[in-house]
Amino acid sequence: MSSGYLYDSVTLQHFAVANSLDLLRSVHASAGEPRWTEQVRREVQNGTNRLLSDAHCRAVLDFTWLAEPVSGDAVETLRLRAVLGDGTDSDDHLGEAESIVVARSLRAIFVTDDGPAYDFAAHRSNLGPSYVQDACTILWTAASMRLIDEPGIERFHHAVFDAQRTMRCRCRFWPGGKSLDDQMRTLRWR
């Protein structure tokens, strides 16, 4: 049983770009307090210093629905960052690493659109696939709750794409993406 949701900065920024942060509040109204980590907040704060991300990072910081950030074990976070990273001492992947550490300890669902972090959390982090989601999964959950329709899901994907961001999914709504059915047809004819 999950103890709530833990968000990565990538996904939070996607919802901000698509003006859909309130959709998260509606989807998770009964799912307990939403969380994010201190490193994720720091990543979002750093994004306010960049021209392309300033507006949506400020929207995330102003989104008072998110609980106060939590911190994970620093040593475990740094070890995991080294696994997720490219071997340098940069701060890249600190937010994802701390999120995975905290999600494991809380048995929370980790929501990320960072492909390597998603794959690691789903397959090698003791979380497992049922404890990892991405923005598209959240959108389809919202659709099942009748909070968004298919045109709204498509607008969300296009807003993220137009902001020069990328989503983990490549569903039929991703601009230039192929649906799973299209991909299967292509494979059958090879």
pLDDT of residue 89: 61
Which of 28, 19, 52 is closest to 111 using CA atoms?
28
- In-domain check, residue 103: yes
- In-domain check, residue 44: yes
- Which DSSP state fits 175? T
Question: What is the per-residue burial (b if ≥16 Cβ within 10 Å, else e) of 37-63?
Answer: bbbbbbbbeebeeeeebeebbebbbeb
- What is the CA 173 to chain-centroid distance, rounded? 17
Give the pairing of strands 109-111 and 35-36: unpaired
pLDDT of residue 87: 61
Which residue type, as a one-letter code, is found at position 46?
A: N
Separation of alpha carbons 171 and 154, rounded Å: 10
- Domain CATH number, residue 106: 3.40.50.1010
pLDDT of residue 85: 75
Q: What is the DSSP string of 42-91?
A: HHHHHHTTSTTTHHHHHHHHH-TTSPPPB---HHHHHHHHHHHS-SSSSS
- In-domain check, residue 90: yes
How does pLDDT run along the chain (190 residues), one tens digit per residue?
567 899 999 999 999 999 999 999 899 887 767 789 999 999 999 988 887 788 899 999 999 888 889 999 899 998 888 888 766 666 778 999 999 999 999 889 999 999 889 999 999 877 888 999 999 999 999 999 999 999 999 999 999 999 989 898 878 888 865 554 554 455 554 4
Separation of alpha carbons 21 and 64, rounded Å: 10
| Per-residue pLDDT tens over the stretch 144-176 | 999 999 999 999 999 999 998 989 887 888 886
Task: Pinpoint the alpha helices (H) of the chain.
Answer: 9-17, 21-27, 38-47, 54-62, 74-84, 94-106, 115-123, 135-144, 150-162, 180-188
How many domains is the chain partitioned into structurally? Answer: 1
- In-domain check, residue 47: yes
Which residue type, as a one-letter code, is found at position 180?
A: L
- In-domain check, residue 57: yes
What are the structure tokens assigned to 2, written together? Answer: 């999950």
Q: Which domain holds residue 133?
A: 5-138
pLDDT of residue 177: 59
- In-domain check, residue 174: no
pLDDT of residue 16: 96
